[in-house]
Amino acid sequence: MTDINGKIAFVSGGASGIGLAMAQAFAKRGARVAIADIDFDLARRQAALIDGAAAIELDVTSEDSWQMAAETTRRALGPVSILCNNAGVGGGSGKLEEYDPEIWRWVYSVNVHALLYSARTFVPDMKASGTRCHIVNTASMVALVPTPNSIAYVASKFATLGISFGMRNEFEGFDIGVSVLCPGMTATRIVQTTGRLRPDNRNNALTDERMKTMHDILQTGMRPESVGEMVARAVEGDEFYVLPSPEWKPMVEGHFSDILSGFREPAQPGHSDDLTSFLKAWNKTEMFGYRIPDAP
């Protein structure tokens, strides 16, 4: 259980959409929030509307920017104990074989590499703090169901989920909770954000037909405020999976049963990996309550 009241929460991509909604939900519970965003003007305007909030300039693709943002936050508000790695951009650069490598690297640096910089910036202090801490990573439902939209986006969100599993393993024994947020369609301005920030600036916002369609579909999605509330409850209740849109569950079930259908007889008859020893090498005897089969 994490009591949000009185905590300092840092939300990347906090000036808009889901990040802003998380910041509002934390503030409602008595936290002081750092609204950290590359769009500093918007961050300032949003922070002015939230009691005790501070606007922080942050480009999540730069480790130096993370370090400066952490220092500014510490001076303005104090030590961070709730960290939301939420800033993210869409992909959308066509077929894999034609994908622009510059856009690919950009999507990965915002959606994936930023999590490493963020951890290097905040986790050592969290571990040393002696205070209950919590990290929320925003992945997506597309991390659980491989949808046919941008490969770079889908792959980057699979990576976010993978990093979240890694954190969950690593933080066992520390007083740091981890949640991974996998929203379905949410009515935000992510399509415009992506068009505005993408390095080539070719595919600008809503002029591209596919992006306009995507924007229109997302506007039929859930209100970000509902997602933000669910995240705050997950932090309070120390829940790992935050899945606001249960209508996706049959697709997730289908996907996992597809994976399971790939298991056949062992390629080497009679062989069975010694999973107990494998886990023991990392001082583990179980994984999140999963049953580990007995060693052969």
Ligand X SMILES: NC(=O)c1ccc[n+]([C@@H]2O[C@H](COP(=O)([O-])OP(=O)(O)OC[C@H]3O[C@@H](n4cnc5c(N)ncnc54)[C@H](O)[C@@H]3O)[C@@H](O)[C@H]2O)c1
* Binding region for ligand X (CB under 6 A): 12-13, 15-19, 37-39, 58-61, 86-89, 110, 138, 140, 183, 185-186, 188-190, 193, 197, 218, 221
Per DSSP bridges, beta strands 8-12 and 32-37 are: parallel
Cα–Cα distance, 290 to 28 (Å, whole number): 36
Tokens of 82: 């709730």
267 burial (CB, 10 Å; 0-12 / 13-18 / 19+) is: exposed
How many other CB atoms sit within 10 Å of the CB of residue 183?
A: 25
User: 59 and 79 in contact (C-beta within 8 Å)?
Assistant: no
Give least dist CB 114 to ligand X, A.
7
Give least dist CB 170 to ligand X, A.
22
Cα radius of gyration rounded to whole Å, the chain: 20
The count of C-alpha atoms lying within 13 angstroms of the C-alpha of 119, restricted to the half-sphere facing its C-beta, is 17
Query: With respect to ligand X, which residue has the nearer C-beta, 212 or 280?
Result: 212
Give least dist CB 186 to ligand X, A.
4
Cα–Cα distance, 181 to 242 (Å, whole number): 5
Give least dist CB 264 to ligand X, A.
34
Give least dist CB 190 to ligand X, A.
3
Cα–Cα distance, 21 to 271 (Å, whole number): 51
Tokens of 155: 């792959």
Query: With respect to ligand X, which residue has the nearer C-beta, 248 or 266?
Result: 248
φ, ψ of residue 5 in degrees (nearest 5): -55, 125
φ, ψ of residue 32 in degrees (nearest 5): -105, 130
Helix (H, G, I), strand (E, B) or coil at 282: coil
Which of 99, 153, 241, 290 does the annotation list as catalytic?
A: 153
Query: With respect to ligand X, which residue has the nearer C-beta, 220 or 285?
Result: 220
How many other CB atoms sit within 10 Å of the CB of residue 28?
A: 14
User: 80 and 8 in contact (C-beta within 8 Å)?
Assistant: yes
Give catalytic status of residue 99 as yes or no. no
Give least dist CB 56 to ligand X, A.
10
Query: With respect to ligand X, which residue has the nearer C-beta, 39 or 229?
Result: 39
**Using CA atoms in the order 129, 133, 139, 141, what is the torsion angle rounded to 10 degrees?**
160
Query: With respect to ligand X, which residue has the nearer C-beta, 2 or 193?
Result: 193
Query: With respect to ligand X, which residue has the nearer C-beta, 131 or 192?
Result: 192
Supply the residues annotated as catalytic: 153
